[in-house]
Amino acid sequence: MDYLNKYKRWLESDGIDDASKKELLSIKDDDNEIKMRFLKDLEFGTAGLRGIMKVGASNMNIYTVRHASCGLAKYVVKLGRQSDGVAIAFDCRNNSKLFAVETAKVLAAEGVKSYLFDTLRPTPELSFAVRYLGCAAGVNITASHNPKEYNGYKVYGDDGAQVVSEAADSITGFIAGVDIFDVKTMDEAEARENGLINRIGEEIDEAFYKEVMDISINRDAIEKAQLSVVYTPFHGAGNIPVREVLKRCGLKSLEVVKEQELPDGDFPTVKSPNPENPEGFALAIDIAKHKGIDLIIGTDPDSDRIGLIVKDDKDNYIPITGNQTGALLVDYVLSQKKERGELPENAVVIKTIVTNEIIQKICDYYGTELVNVLTGFKFIAEKIKAYEKSGDKTYIFGFEESYGYLPGTYVRDKDAVGAALLIMEMASWYKLQGMTIYEALLNLYKKYGKFGEWVDNIYFEGVDGMDKIAAIMDKLRANPPKSIGGSDVLSYTDVKLGIKYDKDGNESKIDFPSSNVLRFVTDDGTFVAFRPSGTEPKFKIYSGFFSENTEEKAALIKNDIKKLLD
């Protein structure tokens, strides 16, 4: 069915409410907008759904959410686990609660029990709840750090991790087998009366907080050091849990940015609610400057990512990157566990292949194994599950460069709540040693070498955005670069094909799931990776390197990449 006929079908369907029809009628003379909304269906993948909130087959709305929920329900029924239920959470975004309730109503109509949080909760708590309640699956309505126009539908397996490809493919098959306008829902009050929708809240909070508190290494450091901290939840779900955990740890001087404290899906104070973007911390920095605050932290809307702003040696407040924070945390955790005799011989740290290689040097120093996985915390979770089953390795810490950290195994996704505690403990411990986080970072450079990075996101808007990205990847595969940033390419890995090529063209197999990623390594240890997003028309470039002049090296890499893409 072409996009115009699909548009007409939606417009004329009895299953569309009046407000949605009115929205569709408003675009009747805009062929490009109709094409954007109906050329392709919103695809369900291992990240679930994610898209701009509009009426249409390509967008996030109650119809696409119901459709996905029907597929999930049928998948759970096939497993025979409808009585085990599905845990459902939602964040602060516009329509998040609506989509969560609609999900529960569809599950109920298919005879699947759900556990629906009473108010917004962070992503890591949803992951925790799935395992704590023994659910068959979980759903979180969130688009994480995306702009306000977006929302998403993350699906989790019974291990508390985002579903892997096999489960996602099965759910997709069930979705395809049901017409989007034939999805049944049950009245919410009826579903609650029949025990098919169950309210959850404080009891899960308490169990989650207990597990977070248990990750502490130096339990009294926070209370002894008494850092002064400014925190911003960027209008999101971290506000209550992050503050509660830090309070329980003994932190007394925690100031919250009032303008960014309360839930607000319009995110009125920031361009994008992403702790990777320093501009969002402007209000927090103003407070910190005025009061001489030690440290600033910020979590994204679903509180799975966390960013830091620290004081440098000139008392300027500067951001530190996800790679820098991760390196500091890995060094802190390994050093403290080593010193206390608590570092197992089979300890393992996990990072993604686009995360800086400084982590390898840190792990080598402490005699700890480093395992690399593809981008996405589900791959870290997969390893944790395998290690628990085999018992041959003990997970210590995992992270990815995009500000996501997992300091324990109580959840199976990145956790900004637990990371906030560990960051605060680390900063407190360094303060007790007479050091700031910035000084600790400089010491890390002295010990392992100064490392840098350059990351870029390129958006290709429009209906042909994904096609443009595919053409770029085809070009890179057909003509791989011979040098990057002034250094010869030693090897490159095509993760999609599962092959690593050396500079002479010799091939070797790699042990990774197939993914559309290309990664190049040069003779001075620089890496550059290219990865299209699976959920939006975005092309991401990552690089990591060692250099005394990181700005100059980054500029060289950036220039070479620009030539490659022109």
Q: Which of the four pLDDT bands, split at 50, 70 and 90, describes residue 536?
A: low
Q: Are residues 46 and 105 in the same domain?
A: yes
> In this structure, is residue 340 part of a structural domain?
yes
Q: Are residues 499 and 442 in the same domain?
A: no
Q: Are residues 389 and 503 in the same domain?
A: no
Report, as an integer, the average pLDDT of 266-280.
Answer: 94
| Percent of residues, the chain, with pLDDT higher than 90 | 90
Q: Is the pLDDT of residue 18 over 80?
A: yes
Structure token pair of residue 387: 């290690």
Residue that terminates a domain, selected from 392, 426, 448:
448
Q: Report the distance separating Cα 297 and Cα 271, nearest Å.
A: 18
- Give the domain CATH number at 408: 3.40.120.10
Q: What is the pLDDT of residue 466?
A: 80
Name the H helices within 214-264. Answer: 221-225, 239-248
Residue that terminates a domain, selected from 418, 448, 478:
448
The CA angle 133-134-137, to the nearest 5 degrees, is 100
Q: Are residues 434 and 524 in the same domain?
A: no
Q: What is the pLDDT of residues 119-161, one digit of tens each?
A: 999 999 999 999 999 999 999 999 999 899 999 999 999 999 9
Active site annotation includes 228: no
> In this structure, is residue 114 part of a structural domain?
yes
Q: What is the pLDDT of residues 23-51, one digit of tens each?
A: 999 999 999 999 999 999 998 987 789 99
Q: Report the distance separating Cα 297 and Cα 307, nearest Å.
A: 6
Q: Is the pLDDT of residue 533 over 90?
A: no
Q: Are residues 270 and 377 in the same domain?
A: yes
Q: What is the pLDDT of residue 164?
A: 87
Cα dihedral 195, 198, 202, 203 in deg (nearest 10): 50
Q: What is the pLDDT of residue 62?
A: 98
Q: Are residues 435 and 469 in the same domain?
A: no
Q: Are residues 386 and 471 in the same domain?
A: no
Q: What is the domain extent for residue 62?
A: 40-205
In the predicted model, what is the mean pLDDT of the chain? 95
Q: What is the pLDDT of residue 431?
A: 97
Report, as an integer, the average pLDDT of 329-346.
Answer: 97
Q: Are residues 272 and 297 in the same domain?
A: yes
Domain count, the chain: 3
Q: Of 511, 490, 488, 489, which Cα lies nearest the Cα of 499?
A: 511
Query: Which position among 58, 114, 127, 144 bears the catalytic label?
Result: 144
Q: What is the pLDDT of residues 231-244, one digit of tens each?
A: 999 999 999 999 99
Q: What is the pLDDT of residue 457?
A: 87
Q: What is the pLDDT of residue 245?
A: 97
Find all residues with CB under 8 Å of 448, minimum gap 6, and list them. Answer: 358, 361, 362, 365
Q: What is the pLDDT of residue 374?
A: 93
Q: What is the pLDDT of residues 400-451, one digit of tens each?
A: 999 999 999 999 999 999 999 999 999 999 999 999 999 999 999 999 999 9
Strands across the sheet with 137-141, in order?
A: 49-52, 150-156, 137-141, 86-90, 114-117, 197-200
pTM: 0.95
Q: Are residues 387 and 457 in the same domain?
A: no
Q: What is the pLDDT of residue 219?
A: 87
Q: Is the pLDDT of residue 182 over 90?
A: yes
Q: Are 136 and 158 in contact (CB under 8 A)?
A: yes
Q: Are 452 and 545 in contact (CB under 8 A)?
A: yes
Residue that terminates a domain, selected from 177, 205, 233:
205
